[in-house]
Structure 1
Amino acid sequence: MINFVDLNLNIFKEFNFMLYEQRFFQNMIELYDGNQIKYKYIGEDVFKNKKLCPLLVDLNTVGDQLKESFLNELILVNFTKNIYDFDRMFIAQNLFKSKLDLNDMAEFLTQQMILGKSDKFLFRFYDPRVSIHLDAILFEDNKIYKNIYSSWRGRFLNNVEEYIVSLNFNFMKVDLNDGINYKKNMNVSQIESINKNIREKINDNFSKKRKVVNENDFLNIIHEIYRKNGVV
């Protein structure tokens, strides 16, 4: 499912792309242009406005001398302001390790974002509050009748070697092959209520212990909520 990651410089250097929602982190384009860092707006046909599009940043174009300051002075100081720790995300909401180039990665992510055939819909997998549930969402509880996400996992694993998201003021590695025995796949419509329960549980845990939840507490809370919702 997920494992916490200490995003230091050596780990950061392994990743090729950063994807985030601009509505949370505005006015970064000038910085990228000034440092000749390449980027792409994702899903322009869907959002109809560049300012609303998720932004894909090509970390391959961040020079070696700039990487440390990019991590320490941009990524680790820009985060969402929210009263709940669960919703606090650094600007590196998504980090991908991939061999794709910028254009191919942008096309791939757009493909993963838009699902359905005749009735297309937006799958907000790039929101870390969805990403942490990907393994449960993609679980195939019926091997004969494939669900709409049946090919999503395969395409993702073919193009992404490692995937890190930011949530709960931390960085977490998302594993789509962790072998958890789910009772059923999580319906996307459940995510909002499940996240509400997780958010409240984390807040309650902080109120009682007066400290931010650690990795084990966080994972235990998620599994507890999963059990209550019949997912595991």
Structure 2
Amino acid sequence: MEKQTVLITGANKGIGFECARQLLNAGYHVFLGSRDEQRGAKAVEQLKQEGLTNVELVLLSVTDEESVQKAYEQILASAGSLDVLINNAGIPGGFPQQASNTPDSTFREVFEVNLFGVARVVRILMPLLSKSSNPRIVNVTSDLGSLTLHNDPTWEHYQAKTSVYGPSKSALNAYTVALAHELNGKVKVNMINPGYTNTEFNNNQGPKSVEDGAKPIVEYAMIGPDGPTGKYMSDYGQSPW
């Protein structure tokens, strides 16, 4: 069987980097997406020093159409197809985020990465995914995108209201549902919440290790042809919408 291929956006650090490590250990060929060449090259070198050599740097800024197109061309030339796309790149947008006074520019900046960037990467890379016998897309989301949880005063993160970041993930979830419905199982599309993980993203405040945060993402990246689609999942199971 040919080696499975995966592109991970925003993979030079944090959960994306750990996903790359775990999938390399599982025998995948990893295209490590990074918008910064120096940081991306450092990440690739670190993995290779660990003996994980089936990794290739892809310079990729999800907000730049030309950059994504070049990534498509690189993967096409290198592998000819793509089995898995993990849309991991995301930004929080700075805090605090008060709904009454967050500027338009913050909304545009965050949605450009967290929603439009995902849609852009999917649109441009879909021809590569269509060449796989079992294509999968994993969109990395957050439980801060759950409107149900945000309306539950007993939820442990009930006070963690954000005017931009959470809504960007709610919108990503809605987009993912539409995408999964359109593709109708021909491409498995799921949204995965890694949980409150200890990364630079949250100033290393999360109690969860990156290894544990990456696990549900990797699990859904590796599902078989009979796997689920259109699901909003966390390590505890189905996430409430």
| TM-score higher than 0.5 | no
Q: Which structure is richer in relative contact order (CA contacts within 8 A, separation 6 or more)?
A: 1
Point out the structure with max Rg over C-alpha: 1
Q: TM-score, normalised by structure 2?
A: 0.31
Q: TM-score, normalised by structure 1?
A: 0.32
